[in-house]
């Protein structure tokens, strides 16, 4: 299963989870999900200035009777640590899909520290973390993780490995 197969299926899983808002900071690893959200009249695609705004967006959506997901890169996880107390303390669901950097075939050394710490940082903050390394597992993992977040009212993150999404290439 390649990206052209699993990425549309992940978007379908988000729709099946009744997610109607997607907050994101632009990221090439999430390009398909972002484009699909913008093309879908039933989905509100909201560009954010920082990742922690996505946590507030998800809380507001939940309080308003809707469901939201946050799309971000592993480097943005560090921006969210304080704000993660909101869904944890208020016992609200929070669902995020994180594209990993600083792993396989990384060209940018500035991405390595947060990429190496992302899973541990999220777990230390009280987020339930799941990781997809193979295309065959992505869709089922996203669907099950969204159910866990919204049915149990807990924060859940799905990490998409850098090998899965493909190495970024620096073009001059």
pTM: 0.93
Q: Is residue 83 one of the residues assigned to a domain?
A: yes
**Is residue 4's pLDDT more than 90?**
no
pLDDT of residue 170: 65
User: Would residue 74 count as lying in a domain?
Assistant: yes
Q: Is residue 171 part of a domain?
A: no
Residues 30, 77, 93, CA angle at the centre, nearest 5°?
Answer: 85
pLDDT at 156 over 70: yes
What are phi and psi for residue 34, nearest 5 degrees? -65, -45
The confidence score (pLDDT) of residue 111 equals 86
Chain mean pLDDT for the chain: 94
Closest CA to 76 of 58, 44, 108, 101: 101
pLDDT of residue 108: 84
Confidence of residue 172 (pLDDT cuts 50, 70, 90): low
Number of structural domains the chain divides into: 1
Contacts of 41 (CB under 8 A, 6+ apart): none
Mean pLDDT computed over 118-134: 97
How much is the pLDDT for 31? 94
Alpha carbon of residue 13 to chain centroid: 13
Among 28, 34, 1, 26, residue whose Cα is nearest residue 14: 34
Residue 10: which H helix or E strand, with range?
helix 3-16
Domain residues for the domain of 50 are 3-165
Determine the pLDDT at residue 104.
Answer: 81
61-103 tens-digit pLDDT: 999 999 999 999 999 999 999 999 999 999 999 999 999 988 8
Evaluate whether residue 131 is within a structural domain.
yes
> In terms of DSSP H, where are the helices of 22-168?
31-39, 52-63, 74-77, 85-89, 112-124, 135-152, 162-165
pLDDT digits (tens, 9 = 90+) for 19-66: 999 999 999 999 999 999 999 999 999 999 999 999 999 999 999 999
Q: Flag whether 170 is in a domain.
A: no
* CATH number of the domain bearing residue 97: 3.40.50.970
Q: Look at residue 172 and tell me if it is in a domain.
A: no
């Amino acid at each position: 299963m390649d990206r052209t197969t699993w990425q549309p299926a992940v978007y379908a899983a988000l729709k099946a989870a009744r997610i109607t808002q997607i907050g994101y900071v632009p990221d090439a690893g999430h390009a398909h999900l972002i484009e699909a959200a913008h093309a879908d009249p039933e989905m509100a695609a909201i560009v954010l200035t920082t990742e922690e705004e996505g946590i507030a967006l998800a809380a507001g959506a939940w309080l308003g009777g809707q469901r939201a997901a946050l799309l971000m890169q592993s480097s943005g996880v560090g921006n969210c640590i304080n704000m993660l107390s909101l869904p944890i303390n208020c016992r609200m669901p929070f669902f995020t899909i994180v594209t990993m950097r600083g792993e396989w075939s990384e060209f940018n050394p500035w991405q390595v520290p947060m990429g190496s710490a992302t899973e541990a940082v999220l777990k230390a903050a009280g987020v339930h973390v799941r990781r997809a390394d193979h295309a065959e597992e992505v869709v089922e993992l996203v669907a099950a993780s969204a159910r866990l977040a919204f049915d149990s009212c807990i924060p859940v993150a799905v990490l998409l490995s850098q090998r899965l999404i493909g190495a970024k290439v620096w073009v001059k």
